[in-house]
Amino acid sequence: MAINKSRPKKPSKLSVYLYIPNIIGYVRVLMNVYAFAICFSNKQLFCILYFISFGNKIGCFYFGFSFVCDGIDGWAARKFNQVSTFGAVLDMITDRISTACLLVILSQVYRPGLTFVSLLALDIGSHWLQMYSTFLLGKASHKDVKDSTSWLFRAYYGNRMFMAYCCVACEVLYISLYLLAEKPTEHLMDVLMSLTKEISPFSILVGLSLFGWAIKQVVNVIQMKTAADICVLHDINKKERP
Q: What is the pLDDT of residue 102?
A: 94
| Cα(32)–Cα(54) distance, integer angstroms | 8
Burial class (CB in 10 A: 0-12, 13-18, 19+), 241: exposed
DSSP structure class, residue 2: -
pLDDT at 9 over 80: no
pLDDT at 8: 64
State if pTM tops 0.85. no
Give catalytic residue positions: 95
Report d(CA 44, CA 216) in Å as an integer: 26
Cα angle value 167/156/78 (rounded, 5°): 70
Residue 218 pLDDT > 60: yes
Question: Percent of the chain beyond pLDDT 70?
Answer: 85
d(CA 155, CA 162): 8
Q: What number of residues does the chain have?
A: 242
> Could you count the other beta carbons within 10 Å of the beta carbon of residue 84?
15
Q: Which residues pair with 146 in a beta bridge?
A: none
Query: Does a cis peptide bond (omega within 30 degrees of 0) precede residue 201?
Result: no
| Helix, strand or coil, per DSSP, at residue 104 | helix
Q: Are 67 and 56 in contact (CB under 8 A)?
A: yes
CA-to-CA distance for 129 and 223, rounded, in angstroms? 8
Three-class SS state of 212: helix
pLDDT for 60:
38
Q: Catalogue the long-range contacts made by 206-211 (C-beta closer than 8 Å, 24 or more residues apart).
A: 206/172, 206/173, 206/176, 208/169, 209/169, 209/170, 209/172, 209/173, 209/176, 210/169, 210/173, 211/169
Segment 50-108, tens digit of pLDDT: 887 765 443 334 443 334 445 566 666 677 778 788 887 888 788 888 999 999 999 99
pLDDT value of position 6 = 57
Determine the Cα–Cα distance for residues 25 and 70; give it in Å rounded to an integer: 8
Alpha-carbon distance values, 64 to 9, 48, 96, 142, 212 (Å): 40, 10, 20, 27, 17
The sign one gets for the Cα dihedral 225, 229, 230, 235 is: positive
Q: Is 132 exposed, middle or buried (0-12, 13-18, 19+ CB in 10 A)?
A: middle
